[in-house]
Structures are given as C-alpha cells and as structure tokens.
Chain A
Amino acid sequence: MPWLQTTVKLFIELLYLLRGSGISTLHVVLVGKNIKSAQTKTTATLPRDGALPGLSVQFVAENYDDFAAQQEKKQPAGQDEAPALPSPTFPPACVFAVNAGMWGFDEWKPAVQRIFEVQLRVAAAP
C-alpha cells in the first residue's frame, strides 16, 4: 500500500514542531467514506524518540458524523455509570477538514453539526 506510507509521511514534520510541547504521542485519526477498506486494517506508528513525540495514524472508512456517534456511545453517559477506559482517540483536541469540499456536498451538514457538538463538550470538560 504505497499511498498509506505517503499519507503517514504528511504528519512527520508536525512531530518536529511539537517537540518540547509536552506531547508524548500524537494520535491522528483520518475519517472519510472515501478511505479504502484495506487501509482501515492498518495502524501506522512511529515510536517516541527523545523529545520527538511518537505518532499513530488510524484510518476509518465512514462519514464523520457516524464515526463520532459511535465513539460517543462508547463514552460513559452519566455519573452513575462506570467510567469507561479512557480512549486516546476520542474526543479529539481538534478536528480538521483539509480540502473537504463542504461547498458542494449536503452530507457535510450533519458532520459539521457533530464536530461542533464534540468540540463544545471538549471545551466544557474540566
């Protein structure tokens, strides 16, 4: 899978920028329905190297709203519920949509709504 390697390499420069900022590992989750099913079976990782953070890149072949809804179901709903194991990949610190073509596709509407809700929850968290 040569494309997978190309995609992972995109984030390596970011590791150099994150040196010394207190980040031990950077988790990147690429979510999109145009991701191939073969890619979802592979996680790309780079170990931590001194001040350089480690990297983990995962692929999810779904629309973002479906993915976020599934992840939220895994989170504890109320205070009485037993706390789930903390997931390193949800909720995210930030959601990026690079060259996403939001201008042309109505299916982005629920995804944007979901991103807004997720980010509000992250901002409100202690």
Chain B
Amino acid sequence: MRCVSQVKSIEERIAKLNEREQRNRLKGLQREKRFGGMNAYVRYLNQRKVESMGRAPGLGLGWQLYSPTINLTGADGSVIVVPDNASQTLLDLTRKTTLSLTIFVALARLGIVNAMNTGAPAADDRELCIHVAGANWSEGVPVEVRMLTSTAASVACCDGPPIDC
C-alpha cells in the first residue's frame, strides 16, 4: 500500500514537471512568434551588425574579413562589379563561416589541402575545383526570404502571365 502511494506521488511529480515544461515551451513559441520566428540567440545574431574591414590577406579568418566587391562576368564577357554590404549581421556571417569551415575541414581530412598552413604564399601553385551537387538557385539566402520569394513567384505564376519561376 505504501509502495503504491509512493509510485503515485512520483507520477504526480513527473506530471507536474511535464506540465511546467509544456507551459514554458508554449511561452517560448509565443515569444518567438512575436519576433518573426527567431529565438533569442538567432535574434541577437540577426540584430548585431559587423562592419567590414575589407580584404586583409595578412590577417586570419574573422567576422570582419569579407570582400567589399565581387566581379560578375556575363556570357558576353562583360564584367559587373557589385559591392558587398558595408556591414553584415552575425547571422549572415555565421552562415558563411559554417559552410566554409565544413568544406575546408573535409578537404583537409581528405588530404586535398594542407590544414597546417602558415598563411605565407606557397611555392607550388595549383588550381582547386570543387563541385556542389544539388545546389539551389538561392544558396545562402535566408530561409524566410527564400520562402517569401517562392510564395510571391507562385502567386505570380498562378495569377498573371507565365514568368520564369
């Protein structure tokens, strides 16, 4: 009898804990909904802006190091120089660094590049080619922006004249 009551008491405590966890989870979801589906950490990353230091080949990898311009060469040979943003959010930079580090570590583990490089120019220069299979038209574009664009394109396809979407 005593044993049964103990089991009951434990079950009640577990139920209370579950209930509290569920309540907190719902509160968290409501909070995220207010802030565009972003939790506190993602919101912090998305608000904090980092100014560019431009290209600094002498320095190590860092948040501030990204190219201020990119050259886009068309099929006819024309070159358009587009500026990179003067500042980017930590979320943008996290996205970029995650992909770059993943690729770099894979290349190093496969022995394709030397991970223990010193940053100094190497004597034997070679070209390296990597393929990305299953790439999308919007690689690197934030999911929320991608979804908004896709939805807008679908609506345009259904309602208006046929367009390339």
Top 6 nearest A-B pairs by Cβ distance?
A100-B134, A20-B117, A30-B135, A13-B100, A22-B122, A24-B125
B138's closest neighbor in chain A, by CB? A3
Query: A84 to nearest B CB, angstroms?
Result: 16
State whether A29 touches B82 (Cβ < 8 A). no
**With A9-B66, A32-B135, A97-B132 known to touch, is A19 a contact of B84 (CB < 8 Å)?**
no
C-alpha spacing A38/B163, complex, angstroms? 12
Whether, in the assembled complex, A93 has its beta carbon less than 8 Å from a beta carbon of chain B, the answer is yes
State whether B73 touches A43 (Cβ < 8 A). yes
Interface size class, chain B: 35 or more
**With A13-B100, A42-B72, A52-B55 known to touch, is A94 a contact of B127 (CB < 8 Å)?**
no
Whether, in the assembled complex, B38 has its beta carbon less than 8 Å from a beta carbon of chain A, the answer is no
State whether A98 touches B99 (Cβ < 8 A). yes
Task: Collect the chain A residues with CB atoms within 8 Å of residue B71's CB.
Answer: 44-47
Query: A119 to nearest B CB, angstroms?
Result: 10
State whether B72 touches A32 (Cβ < 8 A). no
**With A9-B140, A17-B104 known to touch, is A28 a contact of B130 (CB < 8 Å)?**
yes
State whether B130 touches A96 (Cβ < 8 A). yes
Our pick among A14, A20, A101 for the contact of B121 (Cβ within 8 Å) is A20
State whether A19 touches B73 (Cβ < 8 A). no
